[in-house]
A and B are shown apart, each in its own frame.
Chain A
Amino acid sequence: MNKLILGRYFPGNSLIHHLDPRAKLVAAIAFILIAFLAGNVPGLVLLWLFTFLAMALSGVGFRIYLRGVRPLIWLILFTVLLQILFISGGRTYVEWGPFTVSSFGIETAVFIFSRFVTIIFFTTVVTLTTRPVDLTDGLTFLMRPLRLFHVPVDELSMMVSIALRFIPNLLDETQKIMDAQRARGAVFGEGSLFHQMKVLVPIFLPLFASSLNRGEELANVMDVRGYRAEARRSSFRQLHWRGRDTISMLALLALAAGLAALNLLA
């Protein structure tokens, strides 16, 4: 669990760290669509260059990004292998039963691989450089139109930010209870599946009890501090759209235009 990079925040002071979370969220979603515009080799090169530029500007080491790809590496390799082995066309290099390795297959594999990895890298840039609470704020803003359909956007956002706030406490507590039961001779991760499930009871029951207790206390605190779900609240954290956010949007637009142009030229 400690190795997971996606969804983790790396504090920093880079240009990307200072972008408005709304800009970054829009960019992440747009990038996923734009990646599919890259339809030829120059387009692919442009896509990679743009991704590397974003990564470099984020000020987070390249190694960290590689660690972000690692959990997905088998999925990626499997997909790539599928393309190589089953797509035929162009020059054929190897034929073996139902499998063919062809220039066409390899080409498709390169495209799939590039889109996959650039999308992971790019979304990781966004999550690594944005505090989860800012992401929530950005998302809340973007979901505002849903209020028209009576979606309780602000309540949902309050729930998410409280959940985010208590995740570290919950992880600590889990670790502590596990250690305490191990000190009483419990062994985890051994024996049959049924046995493994059974030994989790002494962890989950206390964890559940303490979470309920925590929830109750938190509800009391919110009550006493005057929180009412139905009342209008102002927000202390403010989002500020600046020139650099507009520039980042334009850069993205330029990428899309560039890729489209390369497709037309080819």
Chain B
Amino acid sequence: MEIKLSGVTADYQIGPIRSPLVLDHINLTVASGSFTAVVGPTGAGKSSLMKVLNGLILPEEGQAVIGQLVVRKGADKKTLKAVRKRVGLVFQFPESQIFAETVEKDICFGPLNFGATAEEACTIAADVIGQVGLDRTFLSKSPFSLSGGQKRRVAIAGILACRPDILLLDEPCAGLDPDGQSEILNLLTRWNRDYGMTIVLVTHDMDRVARYAQQAVVLVKGKIVFHDSVRRLFTDPARLKDWDLDLPEARRFQLKLEKHSGVALPGVCLTEEELAEALIKVGRV
């Protein structure tokens, strides 16, 4: 399912302080079945963008079109509910949303809200628990007895249970150990590849962007300053510095080596595997 934002403007109010134009006339098309990373400095509006796509914030101006559904100022509740069913939103530390006494009940919360029968919800729960790489014995367990990584996956299963076509994730790996992190990211890659699920990932970690995403969107002060392939994003280090963004480790190492040797390696290396290949090509190893 495609996402298309045109001229979207949003502001945000916290207490007496109103921040105008957290999103400033955003035009963005996210292709169906793509894996897009949204990056940018803290406070650039990444979270607000996610909330607009899920109908949690309505645009002041402009509109977001998700499939056939339109999110704009004054959109009715029925539309918003339909949008939330199509677009799953995984917040940072999603395990903090878990409330039920069993994993199964928690996973069923979403489907029941969206009108599934109890029986249907149970079938879905049994299905999605496998999708996040846990077996069915987990369904009857208390979510509070699980490890951090397992809780995280149960929370994500709770979103998948709503059967979204698009999955938005805000730093889904934050706070996990390296094994837990790669498990989550490998799951995302699989859903994207095997089920054609559209994935939008917000992260600060450029190594994840380099390794897992195809497209990158750079958001700076509420404006989109870049939307192209990940490889192009990491081509020009000076530009990244302007946007206050890091380089992936492989690319950083590549540039260091090129500066040291005065010889350019072929291509832009995004991972250590690519860097090794480039070194082989120029005959250094």
Binding site for B on A (CB under 8 A): 2, 8, 10, 173, 176-177, 179-187, 201-203, 205-206, 209-210
**Is the pair A2, B159 in contact by a Cβ cutoff of 8 Å?**
no
Mark B96-129 against chain A: 1 for CB-CB distance below 8 A, else 0: 1111000000000110011000000000000000
B59 adjacent to chain A (CB < 8 Å): no
**Is the pair A179, B159 in contact by a Cβ cutoff of 8 Å?**
no
Known: A2-B15, A179-B56, A179-B91. A187 touches B96 (CB 8 A): no
**Is the pair A184, B162 in contact by a Cβ cutoff of 8 Å?**
yes
Residue of B nearest to A206 (CB): B99
Q: How far is the CB of B107 from chain A (nearest CB, A)?
A: 10
Known: A179-B91, A202-B109, A206-B97. A185 touches B81 (CB 8 A): yes
Most buried by B among A10, A184, A187, A202: A184
Residue of B nearest to A67 (CB): B16
**Is the pair A186, B15 in contact by a Cβ cutoff of 8 Å?**
no
Q: How far is the CB of A33 from chain B (nearest CB, A)?
A: 31
* Option from B15, B91, B94, B162 in Cβ contact (under 8 Å) with A185: B162
**Is the pair B97, A209 in contact by a Cβ cutoff of 8 Å?**
no
Residue of A nearest to B51 (CB): A179
A169–B98 Cα distance when bound, in Å, is 18
**Is the pair A184, B96 in contact by a Cβ cutoff of 8 Å?**
no
Mark B31-46 against chain A: 1 for CB-CB distance below 8 A, else 0: 0000000000000000
A125–B110 Cα distance when bound, in Å, is 47
Q: How far is the CB of A61 from chain B (nearest CB, A)?
A: 11
Interface contacts beyond A2-B13, A185-B81, A201-B99: sample of 19 additional A-B pairs, CB < 8 Å, sorted by A: A2-B14, A2-B16, A173-B96, A176-B91, A177-B96, A177-B97, A179-B91, A180-B89, A180-B97, A181-B97, A183-B54, A184-B162, A185-B85, A185-B113, A185-B114, A186-B109, A187-B113, A202-B99, A206-B97
Q: How far is the CB of B67 from chain A (nearest CB, A)?
A: 17
* Option from B13, B113, B159 in Cβ contact (under 8 Å) with A186: B113
| Residues of chain A lying within 8 A (CB to CB) of residue B98 | 206
A187–B91 Cα distance when bound, in Å, is 18
In the A-B complex, the 9 residue pairs with the smallest Cβ-Cβ separation, listed nearest first, are A185-B113, A180-B97, A184-B110, A205-B99, A183-B89, A202-B99, A185-B114, A206-B99, A180-B91
For residues 9 through 41 of chain B, which have their beta carbon under 8 Å from a beta carbon of chain A?
A: 13-16
**Is the pair B144, A185 in contact by a Cβ cutoff of 8 Å?**
no
B77 adjacent to chain A (CB < 8 Å): yes
Binding site for A on B (CB under 8 A): 13-16, 51, 54, 56, 77, 81, 84-85, 88-89, 91, 94, 96-99, 109-110, 113-114, 144, 158-159, 162
Residue of B nearest to A175 (CB): B14
Q: How far is the CB of A208 from chain B (nearest CB, A)?
A: 9
| Residues of chain A lying within 8 A (CB to CB) of residue B162 | 184-185
Residue of A nearest to B144 (CB): A209
Q: How far is the CB of A11 from chain B (nearest CB, A)?
A: 11
| Residues of chain B lying within 8 A (CB to CB) of residue A183 | 54, 56, 84, 88-89, 91, 159
A198–B278 Cα distance when bound, in Å, is 60
A182–B144 Cα distance when bound, in Å, is 22
A184–B90 Cα distance when bound, in Å, is 10
26 A-B residue pairings within 8 Å (CB atoms)? A2-B15, A8-B15, A173-B96, A177-B96, A177-B97, A179-B56, A179-B91, A180-B89, A180-B94, A180-B97, A182-B56, A182-B84, A183-B56, A183-B84, A184-B97, A184-B113, A184-B162, A185-B85, A185-B110, A185-B113, A185-B162, A186-B113, A202-B97, A202-B99, A202-B109, A206-B99
A173–B96 Cα distance when bound, in Å, is 9
A10–B15 Cα distance when bound, in Å, is 11
Residue of A nearest to B110 (CB): A184
**Is the pair B97, A187 in contact by a Cβ cutoff of 8 Å?**
no
A186–B162 Cα distance when bound, in Å, is 12
A185–B96 Cα distance when bound, in Å, is 17
| Residues of chain A lying within 8 A (CB to CB) of residue B99 | 201-203, 205-206
| Residues of chain B lying within 8 A (CB to CB) of residue A176 | 91, 96
| Residues of chain B lying within 8 A (CB to CB) of residue A180 | 89, 91, 94, 96-97
**Is the pair A185, B84 in contact by a Cβ cutoff of 8 Å?**
yes
| Residues of chain A lying within 8 A (CB to CB) of residue B144 | 209
Residue of B nearest to A176 (CB): B91
| Residues of chain B lying within 8 A (CB to CB) of residue A185 | 81, 84-85, 110, 113-114, 162
A205–B143 Cα distance when bound, in Å, is 13
Q: How far is the CB of B13 from chain A (nearest CB, A)?
A: 7
A79–B51 Cα distance when bound, in Å, is 44
A201–B105 Cα distance when bound, in Å, is 13
